[in-house]
Structure 1
Amino acid sequence: MNHDPRLPGTTADVVSSHHVFGAPCWVSLTCRDQATTEDFYGAVLGWEWKPVKLGERFRVALVDGTPVAGIAAVASMWQMAAAWTPYFAVAGADEAVARVQERGGTLAVGPLSFPPGRAALLSDRDGATFGIWEGELVADWERWRRAQPAFVRLHTRDAFDAAIFYGEVLEWATGRPGCCEVEYEGGEVVLRSGGDVVARIESGALGSAPDPSIRPHWQVHFAVSDVTACARAAEAHGGSVLTKDSTEAVLRDPDGAQFTVTSRRSR
C-alpha cells in the first residue's frame, strides 16, 4: 500500500483516502431534472458545471475552477429520492462495508469502481444514508475544504450511539496519523479533521416521523457569503426556504432535496 500522497505519474500532490480517512471528502446530489438542477444551484451558489466520464446524466460543480460537488440525474430512473449525500474517505472500501454490516447498517450499492477509486452507498442502523470513498481525493484537497461545503451534520436519534457506530466504521479517534478527532461541544458530537470542524452529530430525529426532514439524515451545509441572497435566489428559481436566520438558512431545491447555506463568518 502506497502511503506517499504524491502518487506515481503525477506532477502535483494528490491526497488519497488513506491520509484523511474518516473525514467527509465529497458530496453528491441525486436529482430528476438535470437542467433545472444546474440552473438552480448556479443561481443560488454560483456554481458552474462540467461533464464527467460517467455519462451525460452526471456533472461536477465548480467554484472558481475547483470541483466541489457532483450531481447525478438518476432519481427517477433508479426510483430514489432527490437528496444530498456526503461521502467519507476510507482506507479500504471492502473493510468499511463489512464494518457497517457487522454493526447493523445496510449496503445499498457497491463497492463500485470509479477510477481513480471505489465507492459504496450505505445507511446507518437508524436509516441515515451516507457514502464511502477509497482512492484519490479531489486534486486540490485543501482548496476543496476551503471552498464548499462548510461541514455536514447528522440529525439522528441518539448522537452518542451514532458516534460510536461511525467511529468504529470510519476509524475516528484511533490516534493514527490522518484520523479524525471527536469532541463533545454544546450538546453535539463534533468531528474535526486537521483542526477544522467537518461534521456534527445531534440527537432528536425520529425514525418513524412522517416528515422525511425529521427522520435521521445527513444534512450538507454549504459555506456562502450572503445567506439572504441565497434564500432569495432559491425562491426565485423554484425552490423554497424552510427556515432562516442571519447566519443560516435551510433550503429545498425544485426536486425536493434539502440543504443548508451557512455564513462563512459564522464558521
Structure 2
Amino acid sequence: MSIPSHAVFGAPCWVSLIARDLAAAEDFYGGVFGWEFRPTRLGKDFSVAFLDGAPVAGIGALAGSLAVAVAWTPYFAVDDADATVARIQERSATVAVGPLRFGTGRAALAADRDGAVFGLWQGKVIRGWGVGRDKSPAWLELRTRDAFEAAIFYAEVLDWATERPGSCQVSYENGSVVLRQNEDAVARLTGGATEAAPDPQIRPRWHVHFYVPDIDYAVEQAIKLGGAIASQAVTSQTAGAMGSAEQVTLRDPDGGLFTVTTRTNK
C-alpha cells in the first residue's frame, strides 16, 4: 500500500545507500542486519531491503555513474520536486541530480549549504514506513556546522514548522534541534561539524541509525564482512526521546557510514 508524498510532506520518507557494487552491498548489509533483497522496476542496479517482510531501505549502485561517495542518504517527501529544487538553488545550495523520473515518482539529489547530501521524492511513498517505526531506521541525525542555521534552511525548503496542516514541527531539545512528525521525533540536527575535517564523521552529513537486537553481533558481522568500527560504543541521548541508547558507528567496505543502536531505554 502507498500514499502520495504530499500527505507526509517535509518528512523523511525513505533511506537509500548509494553504493558502487549492488551484490557486494547486499552481501554486507544482509550479513549485518539479516536483510533480504528484492529487485525493483528501476533496473538491475537497484534493490529494496526487507526485514521480516517489511521494506527497510533501498540500495542503488550509482556511486560510479554519479561520481559521488558511497553514503546513506535520507529522502524527504515533497509536493513538487521542481519547486523544491528551485528553493534549494535560491538559497545557494546545490542540486546534483534531477529531478528525474524514477518508477512511480520523481527524485532529486541535493546538498545543503554545508555539503550534507539529502534526497527529495515526489510520488507514492510506502504507507506505514516511517523513521522509528517497526523495521524502519531508528532515526536520522544531521551533523552540521550550525544546527539553527541548518534548521532554517530545511524549514524553508521542506515546509517545516508552518501552519499548514500536517507540517513537521521543530523544537530545541537537549542541546539539539529536533524534527517531529505527528509528535514523533524523527531527526536531530546537531552543530559543530567542520566541512574541511579529515574525519568524515565530523564533516557535515546526514547519518542514518538502524535498530539492531544485539550491537555486539552486528559489529562482529560488520568486521567479519570487511567493514570497520568508525567510533566506539557510546551511550547517547536519542532524538528528542527521554531516554538513552547504546550506539556504534560502522563503516562498510566501501566507506559508507551508518550507526547501529539499541531501542531506547526510558
TM-score of the superposed pair, with normalisation by structure 2: 0.91
Quote the offset at 1:144 in angstroms: 8.4
SS at 1:264's partner residue? coil
User: Corresponding residue for 1:146?
Assistant: 134
1:75 and 2:75 aligned: no
Quote the offset at 1:264 in angstroms: 1.5
Which residue of 12, 35, 43 maps to 2:23?
35
Aligned partner letter, 2:221? A
SS at 2:5's partner residue? coil
Cα deviation, 1:114-145, whole Å, max 9, x if unaligned, reads 13211100000111100011111014436983
Contact 1:31–1:72 (Cα < 8 Å) also in 2: yes
Aligned partner letter, 1:86? P
User: Corresponding residue for 1:217?
Assistant: 205
SS at 1:146's partner residue? coil
Quote the offset at 1:254 in angstroms: 0.8
User: Corresponding residue for 2:164?
Assistant: 176
User: Corresponding residue for 2:219?
Assistant: 231
CA distance in 2: counterparts of 1:161 and 1:142, whole angstroms: 25
CA distance in 2: counterparts of 1:93 and 1:162, whole angstroms: 20
| Structure 1 residue runs without a partner (length 5+) | 1-11
Quote the offset at 1:77 in angstroms: 3.4
Q: What does 1:117-136 correspond to in 2, within 5 Å?
A: 117-136=105-124
CA distance in 2: counterparts of 1:68 and 1:256, whole angstroms: 21
1:188 and 2:176 aligned: yes
Contact 2:108–2:119 (Cα < 8 Å) also in 1: yes
Aligned partner letter, 1:18? H
Structure 1 residues 193 and 82, CA gap change in structure 2 (3 angstroms): same
Contact 1:155–1:204 (Cα < 8 Å) also in 2: yes
User: Corresponding residue for 1:249?
Assistant: 248
Which residue of 174, 187, 197 maps to 2:185?
197
Aligned partner letter, 1:206? T
Contact 2:115–2:204 (Cα < 8 Å) also in 1: yes
Deviates more, 1:197-206 or 1:62-71: 62-71
CA distance in 1: counterparts of 2:229 and 2:181, whole angstroms: 30
Q: What does 1:3-22 correspond to in 2, within 5 Å?
A: 14-22=2-10
Contact 1:66–1:144 (Cα < 8 Å) also in 2: no
Contact 2:226–2:252 (Cα < 8 Å) also in 1: yes
CA distance in 2: counterparts of 1:33 and 1:94, whole angstroms: 30
Contact 2:132–2:186 (Cα < 8 Å) also in 1: no
| Structure 2 residue runs without a partner (length 5+) | 236-245
1:57 and 2:56 aligned: no
Structure 1 residues 200 and 124, CA gap change in structure 2 (3 angstroms): same
CA distance in 2: counterparts of 1:98 and 1:220, whole angstroms: 26
The percent of aligned pairs where both chains have the same amino acid is 56
Quote the offset at 1:177 in angstroms: 1.8
User: Corresponding residue for 2:261?
Assistant: 262
CA distance in 1: counterparts of 2:196 and 2:229, whole angstroms: 24
Cα deviation, 1:176-218, whole Å, max 9, x if unaligned, reads 2221011101110000112211110000100121222211000
Cα deviation, 1:144-174, whole Å, max 9, x if unaligned, reads 8321211110000000000000011010011
CA distance in 2: counterparts of 1:143 and 1:199, whole angstroms: 8
User: Corresponding residue for 1:5?
Assistant: none
SS at 2:149's partner residue? helix
Quote the offset at 1:266 in angstroms: 4.3
CA distance in 1: counterparts of 2:97 and 2:203, whole angstroms: 21
CA distance in 1: counterparts of 2:219 and 2:50, whole angstroms: 20
TM-score of the superposed pair, with normalisation by structure 1: 0.91
Contact 1:40–1:234 (Cα < 8 Å) also in 2: yes
Structure 1 residues 142 and 80, CA gap change in structure 2 (3 angstroms): closer
Deviates more, 1:244-253 or 1:161-170: 244-253
SS at 2:164's partner residue? coil
